[in-house]
């Protein structure tokens, strides 16, 4: 009995020693990186105030929420809002549109910044290189309303649009692109590439700038050309950044973007472009069904959480790269 007590006493002392050592290590770490911790405070406060605290409002998805009665006075209806959502006739069409648009965005739009970065990285003329970067990066600073207006009136318009002018120049008939449902998803993906490709390119170029030049020098000695250098050095070295951006995009798979769709959607192409974000806007703000709109938001967030956890776990096991 004494041996057990002694052993237990030693164990407690060891645990206390390790705990004390960890506390001292944390204090020393804070002192060493105090400036970084202080710089992180505004970001932490932002996420706490605008991301985490509002999550308490998700309770209204289980209520028949009344603005005047508030959270505590509104009637609880359990899962009635979710039942209404899944029994809604057009819900599956809206879900299908959302999934298809995000799938096209992932397959078509995601690789384009990587391709642009690889091409720009091979350009030796600095002035030309910077001009191209500025040109493709500029749309990132424009709002969706401006890009939607340019797409509708300057590019695809039947009267003044560049595309239809070219079609007519070759003897064809003008096409009403903005009112054709079969073109709607393609236009949504293209306008997204136009706005975001430059931003992604800058990120990949920054990653490429960190590659050790001696790797390329060694490959030249071994007789490797530009193509082999690209496939065996550049792409593998930026792969961690590619994986992280891919995981982040998968996490937003249900979030295609309200503004992006709203600026090009009209009565003729609504059936092809109506997504979860636009449906939430109509039911939540226009119709005032706050509980129902919150239930839609919870469904979207839950699917996104499942996707990011699954993709992160798969990436960690297969590539060794992950978000957490």
Give the Cα separation of 185 and 194 in Å (integer): 14
Structurally, the chain folds into a number of domains equal to 1
Nearest to 105 by CA among 208, 200, 238: 200
The fraction of the chain above a pLDDT of 90, given in percent, is 62
For residue 139, the model assigns a pLDDT of 93
For residue 4, the model assigns a pLDDT of 43
- Distant-in-sequence, close-in-space partners of 181: CB < 8 Å, separation ≥ 6: 268, 269, 271, 272
Q: Is residue 198 part of a domain?
A: yes
For 164-215, what is each residue's pLDDT tens digit? 999 999 999 999 999 999 999 999 999 999 999 999 999 999 999 999 999 9
Mean pLDDT of 204-233: 91
pLDDT over 60 at 7, yes or no: no
Q: Is residue 128 part of a domain?
A: yes
For 34-53, what is each residue's pLDDT tens digit? 888 899 999 999 999 998 88
What's the token pair of residue 321? 């790269």
Q: Is residue 63 part of a domain?
A: no
Q: Is residue 279 part of a domain?
A: yes
Q: Is residue 130 part of a domain?
A: yes
CATH number at residue 113: 1.10.3720.10
Give the Cα separation of 144 and 200 in Å (integer): 17
Q: Quick check: 304 and 74 in contact, CB under 8 A? A: no
Strand residues in the chain grouped as ranges (E) = 63-64, 75-76
Nearest to 82 by CA among 302, 305, 306, 298: 298
Q: 298 vs 50, 206, 226, CA distance in Å? A: 16, 36, 48
The domain containing residue 305 runs over which residues? 79-142+190-318
Mean pLDDT of the chain: 88
Residues in the chain: 324
């Amino acid at each position: 009995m004494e041996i057990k007590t002694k052993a237990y006493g030693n164990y407690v002392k060891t645990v206390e020693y390790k705990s004390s050592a960890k506390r001292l290590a944390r204090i020393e770490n804070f002192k060493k990186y105090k400036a970084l911790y202080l710089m992180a405070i505004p970001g932490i406060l932002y996420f706490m105030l605008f991301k985490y605290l509002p999550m308490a409002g998700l309770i209204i998805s289980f209520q028949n929420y009344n603005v005047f009665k508030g959270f505590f006075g509104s009637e609880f209806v359990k899962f009635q809002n979710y039942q209404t959502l899944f029994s809604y006739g057009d819900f599956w069409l809206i879900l299908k549109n959302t999934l298809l648009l995000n799938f096209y965005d992932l397959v078509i739009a995601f690789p384009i910044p990587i391709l642009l970065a690889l091409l720009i990285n091979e350009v030796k003329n600095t002035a030309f290189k910077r001009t191209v970067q500025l040109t493709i990066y500029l749309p990132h600073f424009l709002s969706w309303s401006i890009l939607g207006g340019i797409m509708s009136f300057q590019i695809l318009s039947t009267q003044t649009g560049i595309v239809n002018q070219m079609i007519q120049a070759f003897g064809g008939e003008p096409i009403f692109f903005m009112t054709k449902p079969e073109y709607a998803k393609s236009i949504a993906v293209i306008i997204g590439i136009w706005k975001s490709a430059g931003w992604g390119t800058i990120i990949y170029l920054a990653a490429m700038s960190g590659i050790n030049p001696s790797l390329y020098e060694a490959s030249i000695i071994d007789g490797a050309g530009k193509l082999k250098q690209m496939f065996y050095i550049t792409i593998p070295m930026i792969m961690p950044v590619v994986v992280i951006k891919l995981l982040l995009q998968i996490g937003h798979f249900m979030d295609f973007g309200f503004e992006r769709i709203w600026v090009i959607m009209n009565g003729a192409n609504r059936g092809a472009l109506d997504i979860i974000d636009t449906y939430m806007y109509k039911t939540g703000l226009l119709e005032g069904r706050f509980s129902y709109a919150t239930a839609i938001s919870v469904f979207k967030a839950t699917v996104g959480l499942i996707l990011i956890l699954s993709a992160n776990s798969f990436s960690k096991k297969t590539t060794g790269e992950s978000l957490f």
